[in-house]
Amino acid sequence: MKHNLEEAYAMKSLVENLFGRDAWQEVKHATSVKVWKKYAKKILDAISMTARSTVEIADSEWHEELDSIVEFGKSRLAYANDPEAVFASLAGTLGLINFHQFGRMPSHSHRKRVTLRHPSNWKFDQFRSVQYVQNREQGETKERHNQSRKADA
Please, which residues have CB within 8 angstroms of residue 56's CB and are 6 or more apart in sequence?
Answer: none
pTM for the structure as a whole: 0.84
In this structure, are residues 81 and 33 in contact, taking their beta carbons and an 8 Å threshold? Answer: yes
Please state the three-class secondary structure of 24-48 as a single string.
HHHHCCCCCHHHHHHHHHHHHHHHH
Give the pLDDT of residue 106.
Answer: 77
Residue 105 phi, psi dihedral angles, 5° rounding: -80, 135
Task: Dump pLDDT digits (tens) for 68-103.
Answer: 999 999 999 999 999 999 999 999 999 999 999 988
Task: Dump pLDDT digits (tens) for 15-44.
Answer: 999 999 999 999 988 888 999 999 999 999
Confidence of residue 6 (pLDDT cuts 50, 70, 90): low
Give the pLDDT of residue 2.
Answer: 52
Helices and strands (DSSP H and E) totals, the chain: 6, 0
